[in-house]
Chains A and B, each alone.
Chain A
Amino acid sequence: MNVVPALPLMIVAGGACVALLASAGPGGRVRRDGPFWAGAATLIAAAVMSLVLWGDRQEALGGGYRADRFSMLLNLVFLAAAFCALLFSVREPAGVDRRGEYISLLLTSTAGMMLVAGAGDLIALFLGIEILSVALYVLCALEVWRERSLEAGLKYLIVGAVGSSFFLYGLAFLFGASGSVKLSVIGENLSVASFTDEPLLLVAMALIVTGLAFKASAVPFHMWTPDVYEGAPTPITAFMATATKVAALAAFLRIFGGALTDLVDTWQVAIGVVAAASVIVGNVGALVQRNFKRLLAYSSIAQAGYLLIGVAAGTLQGAESVLYYLIAYTAMTLAAFAVIIIREREVEDGEMVDALAGYGRARPVVGVVATVAMLSLAGFPPLSGFIGKFLLFGSAAEQGLWWLAVIGAVGSVVSVAYYLRVLRVMWFGTPAHGGEPRKLLTIPAPVLITAVTAAVAVVGFGLGASLLMDVCRDAAAALLAA
């Protein structure tokens, strides 16, 4: 049995245990700082291992896990998001007195995501989603003393269970229809037989779309998103908004873009409708939010819609665009959440948009980071958000899905309104009490560095898009490799 290809996954899973043990370790210093360093080292080691494994597909452990360019690229995204969440969590209340558990859960969730991206069969795929979800249920509720945090965890758990059960049921039907749980064999079996109108396969697809769209928070499976994003500790929200969405989209690509790719005519419209609905509802919903976290929650619903437009295109170019946009989206969302995290520690209502009034003038660096993030999320050229949307909508248009391209484009226009509102408040707003924004504390260096790095990445991925796109194209090609 070949273990090596699964090493990144195993490193992270092992690191989760080490971080947990370190918090029970000897000596105060080890207990205090051990989990953090264990977590950081784990993530870096796993990232290095993922880079080493960059190449053609290798199957690990009887084919349950597959290391190829697709899974390794996404590994890097998950690890980067987790690393940022780790840095965000320095001195975060939820992370302070339960460091070991906190970091251990974060790492476990990351491991689940990596399993999703590299799963060789449906069972591993489902388990990956469960691992990432269960860890997040707990992380959401970790600020037990805040009622909203508890509520967020509970809501996510209950509705998440519904979503997961739909997904599992769908996978069971897919197994029944194709006669295999192995993703590669499913593709083969279905391309041999004429399955395009097998009704049970349609049921399978409907249920799988439901389950995955729930995790990606696409409409109409999105309702938990604003509540949970608002209630969860902000570093966790940042992690959820980025890594979970990447994982869900990875599963979409693995199943629909990979295994079911020959049936594209069958599922294209359904995913397209979900995408369009997400773009519309997400953008309209975000228009009047006063809470920045809720605003980003609605915005992330719309972003899920944009991404699904690329999935619906059903082409290699579509998959490539989705990967590119996922990476860009991760960078800009992390930058946006960094701003909330910085402000949240200074004032009680720091997650409200109004709390940022005049903040850009008081703190130009944070202001610029927020500006880059918001403009990129709005799809403003030449930032990476623009290139990504251009590619996504373009790949839909290429397939004649003009309605999707137009809805996506119009949605972006609407989104400009609310992203711009944040910037207006930030640069030109006057704090409610007049004068300078209240209480400026020193920003923890890790948070600031993360924020700036993310913003630089947003610009860099935009101007140097072709470099990133080469990588994404290789990764997308791995989806279809036998």
Chain B
Amino acid sequence: MGERITFAIAAAVALGSAVGVVTLKNPFRAAVSLIGTLLAVAVMFLLLAAPFVAAIQVIVYAGAIVVLFLFVIAYLGERPGRFEHDPMARYEVVGWIAVIALGVQGFIALANSRLAGIFDDPKATGDIGSPRAIGEAFTDPFVVSFEATSLVLLVAALGAVLLAKRAVLGEGGR
């Protein structure tokens, strides 16, 4: 029962903060609101008996990445976004309908699901969240994915450097 209450609170915080990220006009506040979501997700990892992932979630995401966001925002200063007249504003309702339709579908699916672990209490099976288990997963069954991740990071870093440098060059003519 306690687990359920904890989960409900974490879920509410995660959703509320996520809404805050997209609705807050001030980018600084939006970034801070993101921390709420990330922390709530960390709580969920704890509920799933994955303390190591929870710790990483806090340190890397809530810590490093959001701080990076904040630095960038501070560096750029608060530039109010200029929105041209949006010809699609009238059709915004389509977006809402789509989102609601997706939500309804998800709810129906969940309510009718017969999968184990949805209506009965979830049980963590075995040791999946400890540093040791994760380490083993990275080195044996998922070593391809682990290495592929490094490739993603390499590309991202390369692209960032390339475009940033080009942008600087671009401002002064080629």
> Is the beta-carbon distance between A200 and B110 smaller than 8 angstroms?
yes
The interface residues of chain A lying within 8 Å CB-to-CB of B166 are: 142, 144
| Interface set of B (CB-CB < 8 Å, partner A) | 105-106, 108-110, 112-115, 140-145, 148-149, 151-152, 154-156, 158-159, 162-163, 166-167, 169-170, 174
Q: By the criterion of a CB under 8 Å from any partner CB, how many residues of chain A are at the interface? A: 46
The verdict on A64 contacting chain B, using a C-beta distance below 8 Å, is yes
Check B140 against A62 for contact (C-beta < 8 Å).
yes
**Nearest chain B CB to A468 CB, angstrom units:** 30
| A138 x B144 contact (CB < 8 A) | no
Residue of A127, A145, A206 near B145 (CB, 8 A) is A127
A65 to B147, CA, bound (A): 12
**CB–CB B151/A145 < 8 A:** no
Given the complex, which residues of A lie within 8 Å of B170, measured CB to CB? 144-145
Give 1 or 0 for each of A41-84: 1 = CB within 8 Å of chain B CB: 00000000000000000001111110000000000000000000
Bound-complex Cα distance A400 to B174 (A): 58
Instruction: Determine chain B's interface SS by DSSP, over half rule.
Output: helix
Complexed CA–CA distance, A392 and B155 (Å): 36
* Inter-subunit contact B141/A62 (CB<8 Å): yes
Q: Is A202 an interface residue (CB 8 A)?
A: yes
* B109 and A202 contacting across the interface, CB-CB below 8 Å: yes
* Given A131-B155, A134-B155, A98 contacting B148 (CB threshold 8 A): no
Contacts A127-B148, A138-B158 known; A62 to B143 CB distance under 8 Å? yes
Which of A116-124, A246-254, A300-308, A415-423 lines the interface with chain B? A116-124
Tell me the interface secondary structure of chain A in the complex.
helix
Whole-angstrom distance from the CB of B59 to the nearest CB of chain A?
A: 22
Q: Which of A1-37 contact B (CB under 8 A)?
A: 1, 6, 13, 16-17, 20
Once A63-B141, A128-B148 are accepted as A-B contacts, the answer to whether A138 and B162 lie under 8 Å apart by CB is yes
Decide yes or no whether A176 CB sits under 8 A from chain B: yes
**A138 to B159, Cβ gap below 8 A?**
yes
**CB distance B113 to A124 under 8 Å?**
no
Q: Which 10 A-B pairs have the closest CB atoms?
A: A64-B144, A138-B159, A199-B109, A144-B166, A127-B148, A123-B145, A199-B112, A62-B141, A144-B170, A203-B109
Check A405 for interface membership: any CB of B closer than 8 A.
Answer: no
Chain B residues with Cβ below 8 Å from A127 are 145, 148-149, 151-152
A379-419 CB mask vs B (1 if < 8 Å, else 0) is 00000000000000000000000000000000000000000
Q: Which B residues are in CB contact (< 8 Å) with A176?
A: 115
Please report the C-alpha to C-alpha distance between residue A62 and residue B146 in the assembled complex, in whole angstroms: 12
CB B150 to nearest CB in A, in angstroms, measures 9
- Interface-side segment among A103-111, A318-326, A345-353, A454-462: A103-111
A135 within 8 A of partner (CB): yes
Q: Which residue of B lies closest to A97 (CB)?
A: B174
Cα of A323 to Cα of B109 in the assembled complex, Å: 34
Rounded to whole angstroms, the CA-CA distance of A61 and B114 in the bound complex is 35
